[in-house]
Amino acid sequence: MKLTHILTTALLAFPFALHAQKQLTTEEFEKQLSKSGNAQLLDVRTPEEYDEGHLAKAANVDYKSPDFKEKIAKLDKSKPVYVYCLSGGRSAAAATALHETGFKEVYDMKGGYLKWSTSGKAVEGANKAGAKGMSNAEFNKIITSAEVVLVDIHAKWCPPCVKMLPTVTKLQKDYAGKAKIETLAFDPNKALVKELGVDEIPAFLLYKNGKLVNRKNGFMEEKEFRALLDSQL
């Protein structure tokens, strides 16, 4: 039997394999969701996060809750599922779980609610968001307190953030007197983070003399941190 025939047979037998999980940008997610008349929209963040703002008609099914799989098992597997979290990590894991459970169409929003909300798209229940946290004046004091300041915007539920914490702590000591490295927790500072134009975490903002000179996102090795800092020293 020819290889092409084998592949064709396999694709016919499992047609959902090619599109069972697909990651969409916020623009694609919004456009496709609006056209889908039978979509199931899931917000897989915590109830507390959901209450601070969510997409219209989204059902809250916390990915970290013990009964997550029990809840998604009650959904209609014949209908497409659109899923999002805050920045993409939990929704990616939830999309995999949905696929493994038997859902044929699962769409994961890249960048999550953070990118959606910072781009100015409509949300519901956002009256509590940003009620507490650091003020702009307090932040400005931080970035002007030394010639070079690196701000690490992180969250305890963000695996890359947690993984880099020992490196950040080490560099704070190594660069003492040369550069200042500050950490800013995302959860209590949502309003400030939005004003800073940060739409994904981990995020690193590098300031020199109070002016933003560089920004990075995602996991970085120690040598990358050092190169970033040394570029302004």
For the chain, list the domains and their CATH numbers. Answer: 18-127 (3.40.250.10), 136-230 (3.40.30.10)
pLDDT at 52: 83
Q: What is the pLDDT of residues 31-48, one digit of tens each?
A: 999 998 889 999 999 998
Which carries the bigger pLDDT value, residue 59 or residue 125? 59
Structure tokens at 197: 């134009």
pLDDT at 15 over 70: no
Neighbour order of strands in the sheet with 211-217: 180-185, 148-154, 203-208, 211-217
Mean pLDDT across 57-69: 95
Return the active site residues.
Answer: 85
pLDDT at 117: 84
pLDDT at 125: 82
Which carries the bigger pLDDT value, residue 123 or residue 211? 211
Length of the chain: 233
pLDDT at 13: 41
pLDDT at 69: 93
Q: What is the pLDDT of residues 76-123, one digit of tens each?
A: 999 999 999 988 889 999 999 999 999 999 999 999 998 898 787 888
Which carries the bigger pLDDT value, residue 3 or residue 217? 217
pLDDT at 87: 86
CB of 206 closer than 8 Å to CB of 150: yes
Structure tokens at 135: 């003020």
pLDDT at 7 over 50: no
Average pLDDT, the chain: 87
Single-letter amino acid code for the residue at 70: E
CB of 114 closer than 8 Å to CB of 87: yes
Structure tokens at 85: 């979290």
Give CA torsion, residues 106, 109, 112, 113, to 10 deg.
-90
Q: What is the pLDDT of residues 135-155, one digit of tens each?
A: 899 999 999 999 999 999 998
